[in-house]
């Protein structure tokens, strides 16, 4: 029988060790990606202007052409398009669940949202390729593989994020501001619009940022439906490319340390930086909020 | 200007419409997957090995690989996540290390899974020379699932009533005894619910596994159960394509004449598994909660 | 009560310890010599080895390797051979880094790897494969000259009517730059001219190209003959009047072909050696011809790079 005091100490240090381990793992991943991500500029001598502002991407050519503008623009375009499609529905659903539904509707919508989250991203990509792409090709135009297809698939994937986080935020509003507004004779819809939503705005903004982060980071579902053509996303119906999809397609064909490998790490580093920026934005949005409670 | 009465009714109608549309969308998606896939699923499909270039293959090894990777990942992340969760909720004081831990958890949680996948490719597949293997996949999934498990553990522990904790300490138990015998036990319903739900997510993961566990699997020989033998399904260094990766691979390599049916069937199996995980997590949570509280 | 938690901890340490042990065994078990007893078959191939190897790379070669592997595993139940695609670039990159046992490639290593990256790679040329321009079956053009191909793939010609077909926009479907099929096509059909960027759909593999071309009206792409000739959902197009047949390749009239390489890191041993021996043995020759590849020894022309 282990001495009780000793087990107390062991417990404390074991859990502390776990905490240190998680710090180590995270820092290792971030530092390695940063190191490899910067190699293209420091070791391979590609200029910042070349990388961010040119569109020709051919690592095999001599000299290697490293323009990543198409990927960055593509990621931004498809994520913003997805947000455009899904934010109204997500926030609307949140308002429905938090303000309008009476209980039984919420009991149905809650599992609905959880199921949306649960469907794996490959399945969304597969449905995109087997249903959405032919639909777009036959009824709207183009090859079907397009910015539009990517935007729609991503919109469905980020909808539950917006809905659930916004719902939580709306429900966290103190009840008295609603009661007060209604007592003053304001209608329910006006109360929602002018009181509840603004009060929950930090949470709603957080949900949008989280959804954007998810959209930027999605790889397989997007890669299956956008056609992977290296061009700027100028048209809704033309194929395009994103940072995640070029990483997915080219990574295994490159050797560690070679230029064509380094450029993919740089894209991964940019994705990392984007998610860090999003975390900081979320923290900034919510800084006043916790003080309020 | 529309009267506020009318705008009230219109607004309410719009919101109900939105909720209806979303529900219909989900029903359509799941309905489509099940409709297309259920006709493909039979015992042979669920147990046979994939035939790389012919029709009539199955997804048996892929299902096994998904489950095996899930179990191994959970075995690693549950203790680790619990450890960090306990530390954060019981021992940590507000300070630099605690802030660092929280930032790390948030960063790890928001990392795109493809980035973790290529990190795994570099470290486990190439540098450690484990190749495309079970163990490479498990490591990548662990990095992915650890922040989820940590948050889960911390929330579940924080939700335990402080009275329980104080009562235990008042009775003379040490802090560690209180944690293991009182707090964790009380947190079990929340923990179990969360673990099963996160298992659903791990089961469906593909991007992190594409370049770690690989896009191929050997036929599994269940008569050899020795983990150190090359032939065994439990050999950790064998390539281990999972169900989710298989859907991507079947579509990307296009060698099977019946690729569409396989992808449909595999999608249906994936969705059914997620549904099962969701349901089981609810029931398990409710059952455990009623056992603990006698309600 | 929490002995189960200690049990979990025990399980965790076992898993970790096991994986550390295995990482030590890792490099060994993949290349260590097999305990070969007396069962070496008369063709020189050892069917008694046991082991777990992975081959990855060219999707043009993949059907042959898959089927040969199936046959090999039937003769040797203890063998486990996994075959992945990913393209010739993947095959070369992964074998150079040692993360697979065999790298399949349509290209010589020197075409994609630097000398430093390619050190130690041993080439085994298992057969020859031809490549052809393929179009969607409803395209009426049967022949394209080199110049026409160049203009199509650089985006200067965008409608089939400009090359003798009907009024249908040309949809180009291409492969990633890591593809061996694409590199071979560029070298011998396009005269080294680089495809214009951004005007085409990109597909991951030969199989995906075959599916995409058959389903997209007005599409054009390039594909290995092993796919195109057995697949009547795509239509093959002659180059400069020469039909893309294996006979024309053997005689040297049709230039779009390459060796199919299976690279190993160092001389192959154990399971890898057995399988490579099998691939190079006469036992596989009927399979090579049946699947639309060309047996290397029947070629009358050769290349060194």
| Chains within contact range of chain B (3+ C-beta pairs < 8 Å) | A, C
Report pLDDT for A289: 58
CA distance C138 to chain B (A): 21
Write down the H helix ranges in chain A.
4-42, 48-53, 69-95, 104-118, 121-127, 133-139, 147-171, 175-183, 188-191, 197-199, 201-217, 220-225, 243-250, 259-292
Most confident of A55-59, A103-107, C5-9: A55-59
In the stretch 83-112 of chain C, residues with CB closer than 8 A to chain B read 83-86, 97-100
Strand partners, C171: C219
C6 pLDDT higher than 70: no
The per-residue b/e assignment along A50-81, b for 16 or more CB within 10 angstroms, e otherwise, is: bbeebbebbbbeeebbbbbbbbbbbbbbbbeb
Please measure the distance between the N-terminal and C-terminal CA atoms of chain C and give it in whole angstroms. 69
Residues of A in contact with B16 (CB under 8 A): 96, 100
Residue C194 near chain A (CB below 8 Å): yes
Residue C59: inside a domain, yes or no?
Answer: yes
Phi, psi of A58 (to 5 degrees): -150, 90
CB C268 within 8 A of CB C276: yes
Q: Which of the four pLDDT bands, split at 50, 70 and 90, describes residue B71?
A: very high
Pairwise CA distance, residues A227 & A43, whole Å: 32
Report pLDDT for C297: 87
Residue B177 near chain C (CB below 8 Å): no
Report pLDDT for C29: 38
The SS3 assignment for B282 reads helix
Residue C2: inside a domain, yes or no?
Answer: no
C78 pLDDT higher than 90: no
Pairwise CA distance, residues B172 & B183, whole Å: 15
CB C146 within 8 A of CB C254: no
The per-residue b/e assignment along C156-181, b for 16 or more CB within 10 angstroms, e otherwise, is: ebeebeebebeebebbbbbbbbbbbb
C78 HSE (CA, 13 A, CB side) = 14
CB C21 within 8 A of CB C27: no
Backbone dihedral region for residue B280 (phi beyond 0: left; psi -120 to 50: alpha; all else: beta): alpha
Q: How crowded is residue C146: how many other Cβ atoms within 10 Å of its Cβ?
A: 15
B182 pLDDT higher than 90: no
Question: Could B275 and A115 be called an inter-chain contact, meaning their C-beta atoms sit closer than 8 Å?
Answer: yes
A242 HSE (CA, 13 A, CB side) = 28
CA distance B80 to chain A (A): 6
Report pLDDT for C35: 39
Residues C19-68 pLDDT 10s: 444 444 444 334 333 333 333 344 678 888 888 899 999 999 999 999 99
Residues A71-90 pLDDT 10s: 999 999 999 999 999 999 99
Q: Which of C21, C22, C215 to mutate to test the interface with B (most CBs of B within 10 A)?
A: C22
B207 Cβ contact partners less than 8 Å away, ≥ 6 residues apart: A121, A219, A220, A248, B112, B113, B114, B117
B171 DSSP assignment:
T
- Do C67 and C100 share a structural domain? yes
- Do C159 and C142 share a structural domain? yes
Residue C193 near chain A (CB below 8 Å): no
Residues of A in contact with C216 (CB under 8 A): 143
The tally of domains found in chain B comes to 1
Q: What is the average pLDDT across B188-202?
A: 90
C262 pLDDT higher than 50: yes
Q: What is the average pLDDT across B161-190?
A: 85
Q: What is the average pLDDT across B201-225?
A: 88
Question: Could C207 and B238 be called an inter-chain contact, meaning their C-beta atoms sit closer than 8 Å?
Answer: no
- Do C227 and C143 share a structural domain? yes
The per-residue b/e assignment along B190-201, b for 16 or more CB within 10 angstroms, e otherwise, is: bbbbbbbbbbbb
Pairwise CA distance, residues B29 & B268, whole Å: 11
Report pLDDT for B3: 63
The SS3 assignment for A144 reads coil
C296 pLDDT higher than 70: yes
Report pLDDT for C5: 52
- Do C149 and C224 share a structural domain? yes
- Do C136 and C122 share a structural domain? no
Please measure the distance between the N-terminal and C-terminal CA atoms of chain B and give it in whole angstroms. 54
Report pLDDT for B285: 84
- Do C18 and C119 share a structural domain? yes
Q: Which of C19, C74, C270, C292 to mutate to test the interface with B (most CBs of B within 10 A)?
A: C19
- Do C17 and C73 share a structural domain? yes
Report pLDDT for C20: 46
Residue-range definition of the domain harbouring residue C48: 9-128+258-298
What ipTM does this complex have? 0.91
Residue B29: inside a domain, yes or no?
Answer: no
Q: What is the average pLDDT across A158-183?
A: 91
The CATH number linked to B192 is 1.10.3720.10
Q: What is the average pLDDT across B115-125?
A: 94
- Do C262 and C226 share a structural domain? no
Report pLDDT for A163: 94
What percentage of residues in chain C have a pLDDT greater than 90? Answer: 59
For residue C133, what is the enclosing H or E element? strand C121-135
**Number of CB pairs, chain A paired with chain C, less than 8 A apart:** 65
Q: What is the average pLDDT across B263-270?
A: 95
Pairwise CA distance, residues B86 & A8, whole Å: 13
The CATH number linked to C64 is 3.40.190.10
The SS3 assignment for A89 reads helix
In the stretch 62-101 of chain C, residues with CB closer than 8 A to chain A read 86-87, 89-90, 92-94, 96-97
Phi, psi of B94 (to 5 degrees): -60, 120
Question: Could B251 and C30 be called an inter-chain contact, meaning their C-beta atoms sit closer than 8 Å?
Answer: no
Pairwise CA distance, residues C204 & B246, whole Å: 15
Residue B6: inside a domain, yes or no?
Answer: no
A60, A145, A231 ranked by CB distance to C177: nearest: A60
Residue C3: inside a domain, yes or no?
Answer: no
- Do C53 and C18 share a structural domain? yes
- Do C210 and C140 share a structural domain? yes
**Encoded tokens for A281:** 């934005």
C137 Cβ contact partners less than 8 Å away, ≥ 6 residues apart: C214, C233, C234, C235
Residue C4: inside a domain, yes or no?
Answer: no
CA distance B83 to chain A (A): 4
B97 pLDDT higher than 50: yes
B79, B181, B231 ranked by CB distance to C1: nearest: B181
Q: Which of the four pLDDT bands, split at 50, 70 and 90, describes residue A244?
A: very high
Residue finishing a domain among C220, C236, C251: C251
A236 pLDDT higher than 80: yes
- Do C267 and C119 share a structural domain? yes
Phi, psi of C98 (to 5 degrees): 75, 20
Residue-range definition of the domain harbouring residue B141: 38-293
Q: Indicate the average pLDDT of chain C.
A: 84
Pairwise CA distance, residues A212 & A214, whole Å: 5
- Do C63 and C207 share a structural domain? no
Residue B192: inside a domain, yes or no?
Answer: yes
| Chains within contact range of chain A (3+ C-beta pairs < 8 Å) | B, C
Q: What is the average pLDDT across A41-46?
A: 86
Q: Which of the four pLDDT bands, split at 50, 70 and 90, describes residue C303?
A: confident
What percentage of residues in chain C have a pLDDT greater than 70? Answer: 86
Q: Which of the four pLDDT bands, split at 50, 70 and 90, describes residue A288?
A: low
What percentage of residues in chain A have a pLDDT greater than 70? Answer: 97
The tally of domains found in chain C comes to 2
């Amino acid at each position: 029988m282990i001495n009780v005091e000793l087990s107390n100490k062991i417990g404390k240090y074991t859990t502390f060790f776990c905490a240190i381990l998680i710090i180590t793992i995270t820092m290792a991943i971030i530092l390695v990606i940063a190191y490899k991500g910067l190699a293209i500029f420091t070791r391979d001598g590609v200029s910042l202007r070349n990388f961010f502002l040119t569109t020709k991407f051919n690592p095999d050519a001599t000299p290697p052409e490293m323009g990543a503008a198409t990927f960055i623009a593509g990621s931004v375009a498809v994520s913003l398009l997805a947000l455009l499609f899904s934010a109204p529905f997500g926030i609307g659903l949140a308002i429905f669940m938090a303000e309008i539904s009476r209980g039984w509707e919420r009991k149905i919508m809650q599992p609905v949202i959880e199921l949306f989250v649960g469907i794996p991203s490959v399945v969304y990509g597969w449905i995109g390729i087997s249903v959405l792409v032919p639909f777009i090709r036959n009824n709207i135009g183009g090859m079907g593989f397009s910015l539009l297809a990517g935007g729609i698939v991503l919109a469905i994937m980020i909808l539950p994020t917006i809905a659930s986080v916004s719902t939580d935020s709306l429900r966290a509003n103190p009840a008295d501001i609603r009661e007060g507004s209604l007592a003053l004779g304001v209608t329910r819809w006006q109360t929602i619009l002018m009181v509840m939503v603004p009060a929950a705005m930090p949470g709603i903004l957080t949900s949008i940022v989280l959804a954007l982060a998810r959209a930027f980071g999605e790889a397989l579902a997007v890669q299956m439906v956008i056609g992977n053509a290296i061009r700027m996303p100028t048209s809704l119906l033309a194929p395009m490319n994103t940072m995640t999809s070029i990483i997915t397609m080219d990574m295994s064909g490159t050797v560690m340390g070679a230029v064509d490998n380094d450029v993919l790490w740089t894209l991964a580093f940019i994705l990392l930086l984007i998610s860090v920026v999003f975390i900081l934005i979320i923290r900034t949005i919510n800084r006043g909020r916790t003080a309020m409670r | 200007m529309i009267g506020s009465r009318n705008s009230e009714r219109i607004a309410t109608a719009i919101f109900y419409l939105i909720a209806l549309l979303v529900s219909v969308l989900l029903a359509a998606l799941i309905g489509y997957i099940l409709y297309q896939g259920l006709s493909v699923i039979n015992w042979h499909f669920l147990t046979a090995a994939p035939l790389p270039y012919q029709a009539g293959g199955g997804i048996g090894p892929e299902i096994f690989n998904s489950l095996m990777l899930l179990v191994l990942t959970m075995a690693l992340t549950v203790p680790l996540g619990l450890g960090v969760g306990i530390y954060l909720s019981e021992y940590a004081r507000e300070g630099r290390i605690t802030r660092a831990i929280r930032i790390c958890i948030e960063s790890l949680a928001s990392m795109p899974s493809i980035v973790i996948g290529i990190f795994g490719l570099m470290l486990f597949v190439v540098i450690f020379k484990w190749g495309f293997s079970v163990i490479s996949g498990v490591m990548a999934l662990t990095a992915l699932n650890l922040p989820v498990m940590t948050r889960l553990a911390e929330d579940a522990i924080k939700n335990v009533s402080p009275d329980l904790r104080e009562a235990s300490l008042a009775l003379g138990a040490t802090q560690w005894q209180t944690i293991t015998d009182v707090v964790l036990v009380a947190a079990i319903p929340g923990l179990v619910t969360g673990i099963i739900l996160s298992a659903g997510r791990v089961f469906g993961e593909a991007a992190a596994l594409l370049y770690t566990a690989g896009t191929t699997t050997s036929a599994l020989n269940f008569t050899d159960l020795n983990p150190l033998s090359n032939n065994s399904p439990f050999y950790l260094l064998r390539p281990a394509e999972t169900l989710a990766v298989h859907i991507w691979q079947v579509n990307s390599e296009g060698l099977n004449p019946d690729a569409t049916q396989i992808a449909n069937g595999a999608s249906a199996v994936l969705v059914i598994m997620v549904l099962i995980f969701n349901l089981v997590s609810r029931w398990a949570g409710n059952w455990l909660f009623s056992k603990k509280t006698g309600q | 009560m929490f002995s189960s938690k200690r049990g979990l901890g025990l399980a965790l340490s076992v898993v970790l310890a096991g994986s550390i042990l295995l990482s030590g065994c890792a490099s060994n078990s993949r290349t260590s010599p097999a305990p070969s007893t007396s069962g070496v078959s008369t063709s020189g191939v050892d069917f008694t080895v046991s082991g777990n190897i992975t081959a990855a790379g060219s999707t043009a070669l993949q059907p042959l390797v898959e089927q040969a592997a199936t046959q090999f595993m039937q003769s040797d139940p203890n063998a486990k051979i996994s075959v992945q695609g990913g393209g010739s670039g993947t095959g070369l990159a992964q074998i150079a880094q040692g993360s697979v046992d065999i790298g399949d490639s349509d290209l010589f290593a020197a075409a994609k790897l630097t000398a430093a990256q390619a050190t130690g790679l041993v080439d085994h040329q298992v057969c020859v494969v031809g490549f052809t321009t393929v179009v969607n079956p409803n395209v009426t053009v049967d022949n394209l000259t080199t110049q026409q191909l160049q203009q199509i793939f650089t985006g200067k010609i965008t409608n089939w009517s400009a090359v003798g077909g009907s009024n249908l926009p040309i949809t180009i479907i291409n492969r990633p730059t890591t593809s061996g099929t694409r590199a071979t096509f560029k070298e011998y059909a396009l005269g080294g001219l680089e495809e214009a960027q951004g005007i085409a759909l990109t597909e991951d593999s030969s199989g995906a190209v075959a599916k995409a071309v058959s389903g997209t009206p007005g599409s054009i792409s390039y594909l290995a003959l092993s796919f195109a000739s057995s697949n009547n959902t795509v239509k093959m197009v002659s180059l400069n009047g020469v039909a893309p047949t294996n006979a024309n390749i053997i005689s040297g009239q049709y230039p779009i072909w390459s060796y199919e390489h299976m690279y190993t890191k160092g001389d192959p041993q154990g399971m890898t050696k057995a399988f490579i021996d099998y691939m190079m043995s006469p036992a596989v020759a009927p399979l090579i011809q049946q699947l639309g590849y060309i047996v290397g020894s029947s070629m009358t022309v050769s290349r060194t790079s």
